[in-house]
Structure 1
């Protein structure tokens, strides 16, 4: 569905509208479009919760709204796939809270992702996202590059197989960040460039500034300065979202 990061011409109008709002960082407006359906439809409830959790990660605001939406999604889940997807979002909320220093919920995040792994079949569409989020915890909370790389590679392969294009941009980005830390400049440049290309093609504006800033880390001058200037322009256009990017427009930038 377009709300999850595709732009197929035959997408339902609601999903297209949700994606357009999400891609511009208008998560509250996007969630409002889903709210009437989220009261009784498990998929809509989960989608709404995911939007509000993403808002937390990008803006450091809206934690109570995200928690309430997630509880609704959890209550509506009726099968293992829905329960696993809800547990994956529970893990993401705990990860975001811990990463941004709001409250340490690392144990909750790991437990939730463990539940998701038990509920989602190996070939389930939700499995690549689960692998990616396990990689985030390994990379940014456990600081285990080896575990993170293995999880991101599984997520990358799964996203490719399932046609999950936006997730693919994220796996490219994080594999590139690991390569950069190990001094593999050419590999890092390629990964960041692929991530940026996908985000620009999808029109994922809110994720484009971080992608530009990351690519700038691998480019010589004057290209690096040009990329950072473009990232700063988009950052101002989106009223300072993502919040964590401000301090990283000159230093390295790779958090989402």
Structure 2
């Protein structure tokens, strides 16, 4: 998926996809890729966009499944099949995390299949490591395994210059630090994550980053950060749904329970 923002030399299609994605317009972004879904990379990117919509909105599961089946069907080699397996693992993880259906075993199996298919030098490895960390943290409740996976993902994202993935690895390592009472380390990680998202214009990820940083700050700064997160949350139509109960009461509250940031 396009994930590092855009520059003047970027492909116009990828620029348009990124701009829509960063504002939570996943359906519109995915529609731009429909003419190209015979190409495995485009089919996988479209599936990834629709899976991400499920994570942030709790809706669109059938469309994501359909797009994922298309990506699996057009995959031609182990790299492409591994990428599709990684997305399937994320979809199963999302369904489990958001309480739609328990697909934890499927998430582990799909991510394990991706690990077997992707070469050690594959550019998809850091993202796979990150997603395995999410499963370890939020499904298996194994923070030690999650921390190791996030560290591998962070190193890989740094080497590849994948700045958006770095924002997520910073965020989740900071979350583990906060869980352990390491306030200074947590504040640093959440600050780094927020700065990256603001620089990239990743609006849908900015409110969760603000809210997370607020948990490390004293008042009145914490209140200011949560108020800003609530403003963005309302501006984007109540996305992500799992953030609602972490924000001031003026933000619209949906029926979904509060959840940790599910991420990329």
- TM class by smaller structure: over 0.9
Supply the distance in 2 between the matched residues of 1:165 and 1:19 (Cα, whole angstroms). 13
Partner of residue 14, structure 1: 13
In 2, are the aligned partners of 1:214 and 1:253 still within 8 Å (CA)? no
Contact 1:70/1:86, CA 8 A, preserved across alignment: yes
Tell me by how many angstroms 1:253 deviates: 7.3
What is the deviation of 1:206? 0.3
Runs of 4+ in structure 1 deviating by more than 6 angstroms, as ranges, are none
Offset at residue 197 of structure 1 (A): 0.3
Q: Does 1:255 align with 2:253?
A: no
- Cα deviation code 1:165-187 (max 9, x no counterpart): 10000000000000000000000
Partner of 1:169: 167
In structure 1, the partner of 2:102 is 104
* 2:229 alignment partner in structure 1: 231
How far is 1:9 from its partner? 1.7
Counterpart residue number, 1:47: 45
**Equivalent runs, 1:10-159 vs 2, <5 Å:** 10-38=9-37, 40-159=38-157
- The equivalent of 2:252 in structure 1 is none
Matches of 2:28 and 2:169, distance apart in 1: 27
Length-normalised TM-score, structure 2: 0.94
How many residue pairs get matched? 254
Unaligned runs of 5+ in 1: none
Query: Does the 8 Å CA contact 1:56/1:62 hold for their aligned counterparts?
Result: yes
Q: Which residue of 1 aligns with 2:254?
A: none
Residues 209 and 231 of structure 1 are in contact (CA less than 8 Å); yes or no, is this contact kept in structure 2?
A: yes
Residues 1:213 and 2:211 aligned together: yes
Secondary structure class of the residue paired with 1:122: coil
Question: Contact 1:174–1:254 (CA<8 Å) still a contact in 2?
Answer: no
Contact 2:210 2:225 in 1 (8 A): yes
Point out where structure 2 has 5 or more consecutive residues left out of the alignment.
250-257
Contact 2:227 2:248 (C-alpha < 8 Å) held by counterparts: no
SS in 2 for 1:4: coil
Q: Kindly provide the CA deviation profile for residues 218-254 of structure 1, in whole angstroms up to 9, marking residues without a partner as x.
A: 0111100000000000000001000110011269974
Write the distance in 1 (CA, Å) between the matches of 2:3 and 2:48: 9
Aligned residues: CA RMSD: 1.3
**TM-score, normalisation: structure 1:** 0.97
2:186 is aligned with 1:188? yes
Q: CA deviation at 1:7?
A: 1.5
The partner residue of 2:220 within 219, 222, 231 is 222
Following superposition, the deviation at residue 108 of structure 1 comes to: 0.6
